[in-house]
Each structure stands twice: as C-alpha cells, then as structure tokens.
Amino acid sequence: MSARLPNEIRPVLDNGIPAIMVTCSADGVPNTTVISQVYYVDDTHVALSFQFFSKTIRNVRENPRAHVTVNDIRGLTKWLLELEFEHSETEGPIFDAMDMQIEAIASMTGMTGIFKLRAADIYRVISVGKQSYPPHA
C-alpha cells in the first residue's frame, strides 16, 4: 500500500534545508544521517541521493524500511515520511535531475568535490505525516 504525497509538500522538498533519515540494519541497529536532498519522483515515490558507500546504503539493501523527516522551518512544520526502498538508478532523467541539484547544493554549501551522486535510490511512500509545532514564546 502506498500513501500519496500532497502538493503542499513539494516546495518543502525543494527548500534546501537538510533532511534526516533513519534506517535499521537487519540485526536491529538503527542509523541516523543527514541527507541533502529528497527528490519528488511522483505522488507515491521519492528519490534519495546515494553519494557515499555508507551504513545507510547497506541498511536499506538488507532492510528496505526508512524514515525521513523534512523540515519546513518557516512554516513551523515537519513532514514525516515512512518509506520503502524499491530500486536504484544510475542513469536517466531522475538521476540527471538529482545530479544537477546536488551540484547546486554543493556549490551553495562549500561542498563542491565532496558531494557526488553515485545513484538515485527510489523509495515508495508508505505514509506521510504533517507535524506542526507552536511558535516559541
């Protein structure tokens, strides 16, 4: 079963604020990491950038479930996405678009030469949660 991404999340995915991803190994050890990009593929899929051979990449290939938090700081909102890894793409329009975005993010954040897209990992959206928080007094 898939959940649909609402249109209002699309500008949040493009806001340039890093997201947080949590995965879990097959033997039950969670892993958290900061990710620079959550790319909208269609209303039931997102793509996450695979830049380094990391624990996150190993985890989703042995246990496909993932949790991503996307921040809308100006909107006082967090979006909580439950995802399932489907497949990886190393060429094609999604890969090319993400590669261009990664280069732009790297240039803006002083990470040119460090951020490099190896693959676009495609995830199915299992659930979408919107969590608003109160303004700080």
Partner 1 sequence: MIPAKIVHFLDRANVGHIGTRDRHLVPHGHTMCGWALAPDGQTLTIMVPEGGREHLIESLEDNGQVAITIEEYPAHEAYQFKGQYVRHRPATQEDAEIAKHIRDNFMTAVLPIAGQVAVHALRSFVQSPVLAVDVDVREVYVQTPGPGAGARLVPGEA
| Three-state SS sequence of 53-91 | CCHHHHHHHHCCEEEEEEEECCCCEEEEEEEEEEEEECC
Residue in 52, 61, 90, 91 binding partner 1, rule: CB under 8 A: 52
Q: Taking CB under 8 A as the rule, does residue 104 contact partner 1?
A: no
The only residue of 46, 48, 68, 125 in contact with partner 1, by rule CB under 8 A = 68
Please report, to the nearest 10 degrees, the dihedral formed by the alpha carbons of residues 120, 37, 22, 12 taken in order: -130
Residue with tokens 């790297």: 106
Task: From 2-10, 27-35, 39-47, 89-97, give the range in contact with partner 1 by CB under 8 A.
Answer: 27-35
Beta carbon of residue 121, minimum distance to partner 1 (angstroms, whole number): 15
Scanning 3-11, 13-21, 88-96, 117-125 for contacts with partner 1 by CB under 8 A, the matching segment is: 13-21
